[in-house]
Every structure is written in C-alpha cells, then in structure tokens.
Amino acid sequence: MSPSPSPSPVGRTTLGTVDIVVLVVYFLLILAVGFWSMWRTKRSTVKGYFLAGKNMTWWPVGASLFASNIGSGHFIGLAGSGAAAGIGAIAYEWNGMLMVLLLGWLFLPIYVASGVVTMPEYLQRRFGGRRTQIFTTVLCLFIYIFTKISVDMYAGALFIHLALQWNIYVAVVLLLSITALYTVAGGLAAVIYTDAAQTVIMLAGALTLMGFSFAEVGGWDALMNGYLNAIPSMRVPNSTCGIPRDDSFHIFRDPVNSDLPWPGVIIGMSIPSMWYWCSDQVIVQRSLAAKTLTHAKGGSLLAAYLKILPFFVILLPGMISRVLYTDDVACADPELCKQICGNPVGCSDTAYTTLVMELLPTGLRGLMMAVMIAALMSSLTSIFNSASTIFTMDLWKTFRSQASERELMIVGRLFVLLLVVASILWIPIIQASQGGQLFIYIQSISTYLQPPVSIIFLTGCFWKRTNEQGAFWGLVVGLMVGCIRMLLDFIYPEPLCYEEDDRPAVLKYVHYLYFSMLLSFITLVVVVVISLATEAPKPEQISRLTWFTRFDPVEPKEQVFSVLRSTKSSEVITSQRNDMCVTGSEKESCNGKACHHRKDSSSSVSSVQKQSRLMSAFCWLCGMDRRKEGDDTPVMPPPPEEAIGSLEEKPRLRLIVNINLLICLSVTAFIIGYWA
C-alpha cells in the first residue's frame, strides 16, 4: 500500500457563539425541569424515590422508556453500523418494539401483582433464598458496565472530542460532571421528567438533521444508488475492504455467510432483547412507576411507536454520511483511519458526528450537540439510578440488614463512583472491538451474558414448576458457557477485511446470534431437568408471582410482613441518634400526638444556626428533612404502604390500549416484512 496524503480531519468545523448559546439554553431548561420535579416529588420514601411515588401517567413513562434506551451509543453506534453495513442493525430496534409490548401485556402484570421494587427482589420472592438474587444483581451490574455505561460515555465523549477537539478522557470527566446532579439528588421522578424533556429535544434535532441529510444527498433514490457506490479511494488491494455489502438494504440476510443471519435475527436476537425490555431494572423500574397498569401499557405503546423513528433519524443519516464523506467515514486503510479518527479499525462510528459538524449551519450544530448530550444524560442518569437501586436494595442490605437510611444513601452514591471508574477503564477495549462498529459491540456482548437471565425470568413467570435449584444452576451453567465464548472473542478478535480468519471454529462458524440460541437452549434444559428432579416450589413462591397466579387473593401474612418491615425500619432509623436528617415518612408520622419535641437550649440553637443552611441544603439534596438537636424521642412507624399492586383496569381504557396494541403489532409486522 502506498502512503496516502493526510486527509482533512473529521469535525474540523467547531461550534460557534450561537451554538454555545443554544447549549446554555438547553442546560438551563433541563435544570429547570429537574429542580421542578424534585420540588413536587416526595423523594424521602422508598416508593417516592425509587418508583416516583407510583404516580406517573403514560406519556412520561413512554418517553422515559424511549430516552433511557436511545442513548448517545445509539446515535453514534447505530449510525455507524448503517454506514458500515446497511440497514441490518435496525432489526434490533424493531425487535425491541415487540419486546416492550410483551413487557406491558405479559410481564408487567406479574411484577405489579408481586409488589416488588427491583427485579432481583422478584427472583428472591419467586424462588426463595438469596443466592439467585445476589448472583443476578452482580451480573446486572457487570452488564451495565460492559454494554451500557462505558459505551454511552465513550460515544458521548467521541462526539465532544470530534466537535470541540478535546481529549476523549477530558470529555468523559465533563460528561460525568453534568450528570452528577441527577445521580446524587434526583430520584426516579426527576429522571423520568427530564427524560421526557430530553425526548422532545432529541427528536426535534434528529428530524432536523434527517431533513438536511436527505436534501443534501438528493433523496431516497440517490441514497440507494450512492450507498452501493460509496467506495473509498484508498483501500487495501485485492480485498473486500471498503466495499458496501450487496445486501445492505435487507434486514433478513443469508443464514450462513452474512453478518446478520435471518434465523439468528428472529430467534437469537429476541432472547437477549427480552432480558433488556422485560426484566432489566432500568426499563421495568419506569413501568412500575406508572399509576395504573393501563398507564404502564400506554407507556409501552408510546415507546414502541417511537422505536420506529431511529431507522429514519439515525440509521439512514449514517448511510447518507458514507455517501457524502466516503473517504472519511468509510476509510479502509488502517493508517489512514488512524489519521482520520484515531482508530485503525475503522471510522464508521464518526458518521453521525461528521454530518452534524459538516452539514448543519451555526445554531443547529449547537442543537445537535444538545441532542447528543441529552441522549447521554438520559441514559446515564437512568442507568446510575437503577444500578444504585439494585446494589443498595439487593446486595448491600443483604449483608447489612440493620443499615440506616443514611448509610444506604451514602453507599449507593459511592457505588456510582465505582461504576464510573470501571467504565472509564473499559473504554480503550471498546475502541478496539467489533471493527469500529460500536452498536454491534453492544449486541454481541449482550448475547453472551443476557440469554441465561432471560430464560430464568421466562420460566419463573410462566412455568410454576420452576424452583430455586433449577433457576440457580441454569443461571450458573449458562453464564459459564457465555463467559467462555466472550473471553474467546476478546482473545481471538475478528480479523480485518484483508486478514486471514484463523480463529477457532466455534468463533469462525458459529455466529453470535446462533450462539445466543444455543446458550438459551442449554440454560432451558438445565432449568427444566433440575427443577423436575428436585422439590417443587412452595405455595408462597407461586401465589401472585406467575402469570397463572397473578390474580390470587392477597395473603394476610404479606400485609403483616409489610407492617413489621416498616416498624423495623423506623426503629433502626431512630437508633441513629447522631443523624442530622430524618426521612419524610418519619416527619409525616409526627402529627403532634405520636411525637413530642423538647425545646432546644440556647446553645444548641446557636450551633444549629451556624450550620443550618449548609446542612439543610445537604438534607434537601438527599431528599430528607432536618432533625432538630436534642430530639431523641422515638418516631412512630409510618402507616404501612400497600405492598401488593392492583391489576384493576377501567374497561374503556383497557379497550383503547388493546386496540392500539393490535395497530402497533400490525405496523411492526408491515415494516419488518417490507424491509426483510
């Protein structure tokens, strides 16, 4: 290969004054929405903080589901996959349309009936014991690091790096500083309402860029013809490097030799997708925050309809970027790629950023910068909130059952910092993975870790005979097999287009989507065999915890347990006499009859006044109220919150959402069939 002249760097256009003004207005808007939601929400109770008071209507739930899913990794990764390999990757998005509907109509009624807050908590109640709950909690946290947090951080930082020419790690620190306020203070209500605002901003900006892109390329026919001819001028001779795929405009591709074989798309893709949409804490927590089951279903419908849009506003612009900037986006020479984007594997992940910086006028570039930051913030705050929830409630409380509320609060926030550090350390590995296609990296890792968890939830929800032994050992065996394949993938990375493929046969001939099918089958066999060979689950592990028992009457002992749990919690909190903050539930229980406060002495009043503003600000930020000095009187437990959710729906509203379900399924079938 002869040396080529250094190309002009991608992103040579930088943000102007008007762009900066747009960004400032965006941040002020989001901060206003965030603080407004903090003021109006009771963040001092478990239900208020983790489930937004279970008072959300369908539209913020649906918008938050969409915004939590469409992070900066989607804008960078999905557009990059479109630039590299055509429309195939959109199958993941349209598969998600079906899965989010399954959540609303099949899985969510079970979760609501069980009265759980976290998904590992559901497994603990369904199977008994703690090991499956703890195992699943740890696995979810690893998945968050490998496929969520680090990917979104890298994608957002890549955009800022190309737009502002900042060091990528400096950009990461900046993005984390932006999200810190929501991570520390917000609670789920603040996250959901800001997600709703972020969704409007994302769609407005993405639709604007789509319009400019199609106008520049010359319309749909020009894209069809131009993409197949978008071959870079410098590429490795006698290789397929830089040549577009012949099946670029098909979703269902050859079952043996293609990058996305169609049997794997139908089955192998659905199983890890079921984990994400139907049993992942980030997604389910938003649906559990809905005021009724009907509103939760409406949120699922809205999210499903919105999932149609990424094809038009993200993937197709990525393909247009290849047509317009072929030598930069589709570079096929490793040395050239390193000069263009710093990644010798390929520069397809710069497709969306290149469009923004080269095509849009001043002002709109600032809007798209806001769109990318909105996508990043919405996904990161959602993940941080959910990761903190399951670590604190399912892991820390298991080993520290007497932990005070303040201790849990501190531990949750410190754990977020640990997650952030681990994610930053993982970024260099992501840069080198999957031929520069960030979106495909996410999906391939998912197929190694998520299918066993999907099978556990599927059998637990819909097969009453599943027991703890079967679930636990199915999870262990499935994850061992999945981790072996994942390690092999990192040890033997996929060769570049001009290199010979000398990987082991299990990697060379077994596509990761086929492996997902195999892994699911292995897990299912282990679960069924061990469950049938061991003791059947107890009645309390079945009642209101499966699809067939979701309408069982509420057992009185469940309500007694709720009262005892509330009383124990209050006693533990009261025993922390040096705490300066009390929860809102404690404050509400002091109604003048149950609590009698002593008057402060003059010295204590003086001491409180010196620190009152700082401490009050700290307590408000954490969603707690000040405790007065000298107030050692025990606080009576608050009235127990109803532990079991209601599945009642108004007939007219249920009919409306069911009709919309049929319409949405028809639309999904049509678009998949049209592009198959």
Distance CA(130)–CA(394), nearest Å, equals 9
Does a structural domain hold residue 658? no
Q: In the numeric block, which tokens belong to residue 410?
A: 């501190």
Q: Is the pLDDT of residue 402 over 70?
A: yes
**Contact (CB, 8 A) for 415 and 387:** yes
pLDDT at 161 over 80: no
Tokens standing for 466? 């599943």
Q: Lowest mean pLDDT: which of 20-29, 59-68, 283-292?
A: 20-29
What is the pLDDT at residue 645? 63
Q: Domain for residue 670, yes or no?
A: no
- At residue 290's C-alpha, the angle toward residues 284 and 293, to 5°, is 90
Q: Which residues pair with 581 in a beta bridge?
A: 626
* pLDDT, mean of residues 291-311: 94
Q: Does residue 359 share a domain with residue 251?
A: yes
- pLDDT grade for 493, boundaries at 50, 70 and 90: confident
Same domain, 425 and 291: yes
DSSP 610-631: HHHHHHHHHHHHTT-EEPPTT-
pLDDT at 332 over 50: yes
Residues 460, 466: contact at Cβ < 8 Å?
yes
Between 8 and 314, where is the model more confident? Answer: 314
**Each residue's pLDDT tens digit, 547-556:** 999 998 876 5
Q: Mean pLDDT in the chain?
A: 78
Nearest-angstrom CA–CA distance, 216 and 101:
36
Indicate if 439 and 579 belong to the same structural domain: no
503 and 636 in a single domain? The answer is: no
Mean pLDDT of 415-444: 65
Q: What is the mean pLDDT of residues 499-514?
A: 86
Whole-number percent of the chain with pLDDT over 70: 74
Lowest mean pLDDT among 49-53, 128-132, 347-351: 49-53
Average pLDDT estimate for 300-313: 94
Q: Which residue has the higher pLDDT, 282 or 41?
A: 282
Can you tell me the mean pLDDT for 339-366?
84
What per-residue confidence (pLDDT) applies to 297? 96
Task: Tell me which residue of 8, 124, 190 sits closest to 457, measured CA to CA.
Answer: 124
User: Per mean pLDDT, which range of 62-66, 347-351, 392-396, 622-626 is the poorest?
Assistant: 622-626
Within this chain, do residues 576 and 444 fall inside the same structural domain, yes or no? no
- Both 529 and 560 in a single domain? no
Report the share of the chain in percent with pLDDT over 90: 31
Answer with the residue of higher pLDDT: 340 or 437: 340
What's at 228, amino acid-wise?
A: L
Q: Where are the alpha helices (DSSP H) in 218-363?
A: 220-228, 262-263, 270-279, 281-288, 293-306, 309-310, 316-324, 326-329, 334-341, 351-359
CA 672 and chain centroid, separation:
24
Structure tokens given for 339: 């000069």
Residue type, 90: I
Note the pLDDT tens digit of each residue in 99-144: 999 999 999 999 999 988 889 999 999 998 889 999 998 888 888 8
Which domain covers residue 463, as residue numbers? 17-534
Q: What whole-number distance in Å separates Cα of residue 158 and Cα of residue 162?
A: 6
99 shares a domain with 177? yes
Do the domain assignments include residue 412? Answer: yes
Classify residue 513: in a domain, yes or no.
Answer: yes
With respect to residue 543, please indicate whether it lies within any of the assigned structural domains.
no
Q: Say if residue 631 is in the same domain as residue 518.
A: no
Both 377 and 415 in a single domain?
yes
In a domain, 593, yes or no: no
Let me know whether 124 and 158 are in one domain: yes
Tell me: the pLDDT tens digits for 164-205? 666 666 766 666 666 666 556 556 677 778 788 888 888 888
Domain assignment of residue 664, yes or no: no
Q: Which of 73, 230, 146, 616 is nearest to 423 (CA)?
A: 146
Higher-pLDDT residue of 443 and 534 is: 534
CA distance 527 to 452: 10
Kindly report the pTM of this predicted structure: 0.81
Structure token pair of residue 531: 């469950």
The model's confidence at residue 492, banded by pLDDT at 50, 70 and 90, is confident
Nearest Cα to 117, choosing from 469, 612, 565?
565
Nearest partner of 349 among 22, 13, 26, 89, judged by Cα: 89
Looking at residue 182, what is its pLDDT? Answer: 56
User: How many domains are there within the chain?
Assistant: 2
Summarize pLDDT for 80-99 with one digit per residue, the tens: 889 988 999 899 999 999 99
State residue 608's pLDDT score. Answer: 47
pLDDT for res 361: 87
The answer to whether position 650 is within a domain reads no
**CATH code assigned at 380:** 1.20.1730.10
Same domain, 260 and 209: yes
Residues 229 and 378 in one domain: yes
